Amino acid sequence: MTSPADPAPADALAAAVGADNLLTDPADCWTYGYDNSRGQALPVAVVLPRDTEAVRQVVLACRRFRLPLTVRGRGTGTTGAAVPEDGGVVMSMERMERILRIDAADRVAVVQPGVTNGALQAAAAAQGFFWPPDPGSADYCTVGGNLACNAAGPRALKYGTPRENTLGLEAVTGEGRVIRCGCYTTKGVVGLDLTRLLIGSEGTLGIITEATLKLTPLAESVATVRAAYADMHAAAAAVSRIMAQPVVPRVLEFLDGPALALLRARDPGTVPDGAGALLMIEADGLAEQLPAALAALRHAAAGDGLVEWRTAADAAEAKALWAARKALSPALRSLAPNKINEDVVVPVSRIAELTDRLERLAHKHAVRIVSFGHAGNGNLHVNVLGEDSDLERMHACVDEVFRAVLELGGTLSGEHGVGRSKRDFVGLEIDAETLALMRAIKGVFDPDGILNPGKSLPDPA
């Protein structure tokens, strides 16, 4: 990190954040060079800013020395978006973790990006509210990370993704400009919508330093139901019927046949007899309204192939009904540590077609595929399982999974983002003219290309 004409980059970074907020020892830096994709690279330095001005000064220093800069929350992402370029700098937002304001009167929270989703939920709940995005890693992942890849979770079905639940942002661009976009109100149409543009851009356009979030009142009551079906076709048909009637569940999750077979082998008591697919359903609202809501959902869910409809009588039973879903991810990790997990989305009406094609692809490539996810959005988490010796076939299978998703009118990512693991496939979904415009926008925000290079958009070639 030296230059014959300028002060050493390390000195510039130390001046930007303070020596106590700069790591340069490789042993320290290694721990910031990975995310949940299992990719890893060694940054030359890690900066831990405490405020927006420090972020701006880091950006200016990196621009001056042409150092790639990758922003990191807690590393829970699965696509490699937080894995730095070799020789680059990682900016960890862990010390920008303040909840600046909970404004109950206007249903707004203002937070720094390093606040964990769980900490925000606890603070909001104390005043009777919640922020709808609830990824599986909510206790640990950061709000900034949620915004970076528009990570949503099960409640997005009823309440929307971060894009629908964020009013405004403060961010630092790749030029070192501090910009503010959006507003403090739930309606506003002045200027271009840069808020929604920044959300989901994976740190390639700007570094979010403050977020103004829309809060939602906590429901008075929640009901939990487990619906078991003979096969995925029956379950998918039920999902379409449920989503075509007025009562919108807050959660509508599914597990496919291979997922249930895996769980049945580990603990037979967690899966109903005769079930080839499972739906987990939650409805929320006023306690006096829930019986009618549940009746409407049951009427829509009924039909050929329904094996069981079980409504939890209390919180303990609700926890028991969720046991199978909660056990699945640990079971997959122990069964296949090298599994490839991709989140894809298809129209709800075509979920069964996709699961059929996944079954055929598993047979063709001699791998195992287990799927589960957010049925009400058509968002499937497709897990391709195999041993180290199967990796070539596993990746070939994933290639065909992506193509099948697009043929069915879907998209390559619902909430995990693109990062570097899906980057080479983006051109299959987005045409060349549109990609050229996206690259031009990237050039306006980040003219030197220092912000998270090698992620999100493919190279022109």
The answer, yes or no, to whether residue 6 has pLDDT greater than 70, is no
Q: How remote is the C-alpha of 43 from its chain's centroid?
A: 24
> In terms of pLDDT, which residue wins out, 205 or 339?
205
The CA-CA-CA angle for residues 195, 189, 192, to 5°, reads: 50
Q: How confident is the model at residue 456 (pLDDT cuts 50, 70, 90)?
A: very high
Burial 86-104 (b: 16+ CB within 10 A, else e): eebbbbbbbbbbebeebee
221-323 and 327-407: same fold?
Answer: yes
The answer, yes or no, to whether residue 334 has pLDDT greater than 90, is no
The answer, yes or no, to whether residue 27 has pLDDT greater than 60, is yes
The full set of domain ranges for the chain reads 1-218+418-461, 221-323, 327-407
Asked if residue 408 lies in contact with residue 350, where contact means CB atoms within 8 angstroms, the answer is yes
CATH for the 221-323 domain, from 3.20.10.10, 3.20.20.210, 3.30.70.2190, 2.60.40.10 = 3.30.70.2190
Q: How confident is the model at residue 352 (pLDDT cuts 50, 70, 90)?
A: very high
The answer, yes or no, to whether residue 382 has pLDDT greater than 90, is yes
Report d(CA 275, CA 306) in Å as an integer. 9
Calculate mean pLDDT across residues 141-170: 97
Calculate mean pLDDT across residues 219-238: 96
By the 10 Å C-beta count (0-12 exposed, 13-18 middle, 19+ buried), 445 is classed as buried
Q: How confident is the model at residue 1 (pLDDT cuts 50, 70, 90)?
A: low
pLDDT of residue 2: 46
How far is the first Cα of the chain from the last one, in angstroms, to the nearest whole number?
Answer: 30
CATH for the 327-407 domain, from 3.20.10.10, 3.30.70.2740, 3.40.50.410, 1.10.10.10 = 3.30.70.2740
Of the listed ranges 52-61, 80-89, 106-115, the one predicted with least confidence: 80-89
pLDDT of residue 86: 81
pLDDT in tens, 274-323: 999 999 999 999 999 999 999 999 999 999 999 999 999 999 999 989 88
Average pLDDT of the chain?
94
> What is the amino acid identity at position 44?
V
Sign of the torsion angle spanned by Cα atoms 25, 27, 28, 33: positive
Which of 154, 170, 140, 18 minimizes the C-alpha distance to 73?
A: 140
pLDDT in tens, 256-281: 999 999 998 888 888 899 999 999 99
Which of 282, 287, 372 minimizes the C-alpha distance to 319?
A: 282
Calculate mean pLDDT across residues 16-38: 95
pLDDT of residue 329: 79
Asked if residue 71 lies in contact with residue 93, where contact means CB atoms within 8 angstroms, the answer is yes
Calculate mean pLDDT across residues 423-430: 96
pLDDT in tens, 157-180: 999 999 999 999 999 999 999 999
Q: Which structure tokens are listed for 77?
A: 């992402």
Q: How confident is the model at residue 333 (pLDDT cuts 50, 70, 90)?
A: confident
Query: Backbone dihedral region of 293: left (phi > 0), alpha (psi from -120 to 50 degrees) or beta?
Result: alpha
Q: What CATH class does 1-218+418-461 carry?
A: alpha beta
